[in-house]
Every structure is written in C-alpha cells, then in structure tokens.
Amino acid sequence: MPTTDNLPFRSVTFDLDGTLLDTVADLAEACRRMLAELGEPPRSEDEVCRFVGKGMAVLVERCLTHDRAPTPERLAAVIAVFQRHYTEVNGQQTRLYPGVLEGLDAWRASGLPLGVVTNKPARFTEPLLERMGLAGYFAVVVSGDTTAHKKPHPEPILHACRRLGVAPRHNLHIGDSKNDIEAAHAAGCTAFCVPYGYNEGRPVDSADCDALVSDLLAAHRLALTYLDLKHK
C-alpha cells in the first residue's frame, strides 16, 4: 500500500459540485421553485448545469438574466428565495460520481490529509457532505463563504493548505472546471481535472490542467508516479 513517504504530494483538496457529487438535479429543482414563486420563466436542467461554477449568487443571477441582469437589490432578495428552496431539497437527488468512494478510500489509505474546497456556502456544504456519507474523509472544508474570495481566486485553496499544514506546492487539487485549474495554479498547486463535471458548459481542456483523469481512483494511480513522469 502506498504511503506518504512514496507519494509526490502531501495533501489533496477536492472540488465538490461536479467532482465529488452530481448536485445539478437539486440545484435545478431549487431554481425551478424559485422562478415559479417569482413568476419568472423557467430554466432547464441543462441551463442550470451551464450556470453552475462561480457560486450561488452567480447561479441565481444567470437564472434571472434575460435581456438585462437584475439589480443588486433584486439579486439579493432572490438569493434569499433560492436559499430557502435549496435548503429543502439539498441532497435529495444528489448522487456520487462513479469512482469517488473508491478514490477517496485509496487517498485515505495512503495517509494524506484531504480537504474540500467549494464555492457552495457552508450552510449547504456541510449538511450535504454528512448526508452523502463523505464528511469523515476530510480534515478541512473550505466553503464559498469561508474566505473573502471564491474560486478562481487562489485564496480558498491557500486557506485549505494553511489549515492542512502543507505548502501549496505539495498539494494536489482535483476539480472539474477552469475555475479549479486557475485557482490551483494561482495558489501554486498541481491541478488534476475530471472530464464529467459542469465547467459552465465548456469541456475541460487537457492542455489547461496538469492531468485529465477519468475519475478519482485514476487520479490516485497517476499521482503515485506523477512527478517522475513530469521530470522525464
């Protein structure tokens, strides 16, 4: 069994929505309820999937934007409506992506401390991790309101590294979007990406990340030899 002595990284952080969990059905349902309450035109699940990535406020703003964006006052009021509905549905239709449990088990068996870095607010992140049976895997959870900035700003990942006691250059971040790649690289971390997430409707470009991996278990296998391969 690999140990921290023969792994090239000293910690691993993971994105949540689109990487560990497929949450779009719950997000779409909360959007549907929100828009129906407001008398606004509905959005399809595909649209909501494209709107996910930069946090809850941006998701709501994109749902409301047709000819023009909502005013800041209206946006703030509607975010509260969305949060009320999302509280009711959070986790009901969420599913683990294939390979997530196997990958997390492999990382945990290696002895590395693990963390979550997500743009989802903490009031929804922590109950969702508990509901999906994932909370026990993570030594630190950084949510969208833990720091002053969200991904793609590097601060959430830097905050996670500080909490984990690991220099960013020794941390591997795994996500599904350009936001994850930009945040990880700006923080000085290696960035692996999975191809099955949201990424605001755009396929992840393997040229942008350090490695494109099929799932978390494949990421673990690659990490065992990654630095050797990189320097050949």
Please tell me the total count of domains within the chain: 2
Q: Which of 67, 89, 111 is the last residue of a domain?
A: 89
Domain that holds residue 130: 4-22+94-230
**Would residue 180 show up in a list of annotated catalytic residues for this protein?**
no
Which member of 5, 15, 26, 205 is catalytic?
15
pLDDT for the residue numbered 232: 41
In the structure, what pLDDT confidence band is assigned to residue 130 with cuts at 50, 70 and 90? very high
Residue 2 burial (CB count, 10 A)? 16
| pLDDT tens digits, one per residue of 161-181 | 999 999 999 999 999 999 999
Residues 130 and 123 sit within 8 Å (Cβ to Cβ) = no
Residues 67 and 164 reside in one and the same domain? no
What is the predicted pLDDT for the residue at 116?
Answer: 98
Write the CATH number for 13.
Answer: 3.40.50.1000
Q: Please give the pLDDT value at position 207.
A: 82
Mean pLDDT of 205-210: 88
pLDDT: is 67 or 41 the higher one? 41
Residues 102 and 214 placed together within one structural domain of the fold: yes
- Domain co-membership, 77 together with 102: no
Q: Return the CATH number at 49.
A: 1.10.150
Asked whether residue 112 falls in the same domain as residue 202, the answer is yes
Judge if 102 and 193 occupy the same domain: yes
Give the pLDDT score at 92.
97
Same domain, 29 and 137: no
Residue 138 shares a structural domain with residue 155: yes
101 and 118, same domain (yes or no) = yes
Residues 31 and 126 in one domain: no
Residues 143, 45 share a domain = no
- 60 and 158 share one domain: no
pLDDT at 70 over 70: yes
